[in-house]
Amino acid sequence: MEKLLSLMTVAPAMATDDYVGFTFFVGCMAMMAASAFFFLSMNSFDNKWRTSILVSGLITFIAAVHYWYMRDYWATNAESPTFFRYVDWVLTVPLMCVEFYLILKAAGATKGLMWKMIFASVIMLVTGYFGEAVYTTGAGPAVWGALSGAAYFYILYEVWAGGAAKLAAAAGGAVQQAHQTLVKFVFIGWAIYPIGYMAGTEGWYSGIFGGLPMDVIYNIGDAINKIGFGLVVYNLAVASKTA
């Protein structure tokens, strides 16, 4: 009981100039609000779309829980919550791959395609974690970051020009449009993360991105990508309702 109560106590007051802490706080609120929105709207759609909207809500909800902890971790330690960050990503990014599968399922997407993307996303994140938290000296971050980048480009290729793109083209209409918007999120929105990584680790790139606040960059990326992804899927469900 005491443990539970201590979880519910108010976090230490935030300094008014702690803008990193502020983005954790706002990020947490935004993820909570988005989750409520997706969960509450879910039942107004056809069965066909409910799982997709549910997954949108799960992505933002899992992030909200992690942001709750990360906000607290930052307030207490004034350090990047790298471990929580990657636990969040390793749960939510595979779910984003599931979203691609779900909207393309009617067009014939296979589980094989889904697992291929999930596998690549886990490789991207595990190698990124190695560079950010384990092999942090010498060429470590640059090498692991490059490996992570290769997995990222594989995912981008798969959705842009590979199997997933072909299925989307075959589906046409609102599904193809939604797919193309999600591809833009992967291309532009996900590219925010390597910038945060280069800002927060040491390497040949430190002169370019050094000094930028890594956590602010990651927090902006998360808000854009997690909520944005969910809204694209929501819009698709709305479009198919009126069509």
Among 49, 84, 89, 234, binds ligand RET (CB under 6 A): 89
Three-class SS of 31-47: HHHHHHHHHHHHHHCCH
Distance CA 189, CA 228 (A): 9
Closest CA to 24 of 87, 58, 70: 70
- The answer to whether 53 and 234 are in contact (CB under 8 A) is yes
By CB under 6 A, residue 38 contacts ligand RET:
no
* Smallest gap from residue 7 Cβ to ligand RET (A): 24
Question: Between 171 and 234, whose beta carbon lies closer to ligand RET?
Answer: 234
**Mask 184-213, x = binds ligand RET (CB under 6 A)?**
------x--xx--x----------------
Distance CA 203, CA 195 (A): 12
By CB under 6 A, residue 124 contacts ligand RET:
yes
By CB under 6 A, residue 145 contacts ligand RET:
yes
Helix and strand numbers (H, E) in the chain are 12, 0
- 31 Cβ neighbours under 8 A, 6+ residues apart: 60, 61, 63, 64, 67, 222, 223, 226, 227
By CB under 6 A, residue 92 contacts ligand RET:
yes
By CB under 6 A, residue 74 contacts ligand RET:
no
By CB under 6 A, residue 152 contacts ligand RET:
yes
Question: Between 55 and 93, whose beta carbon lies closer to ligand RET?
Answer: 93
Among 53, 109, 222, 223, binds ligand RET (CB under 6 A): 222
- Report the length, in residues, of the chain: 243
Interface ranges with ligand RET (CB under 6 A):
89, 92-93, 124-125, 128, 145, 148-149, 152, 190, 193-194, 197, 222, 225-226
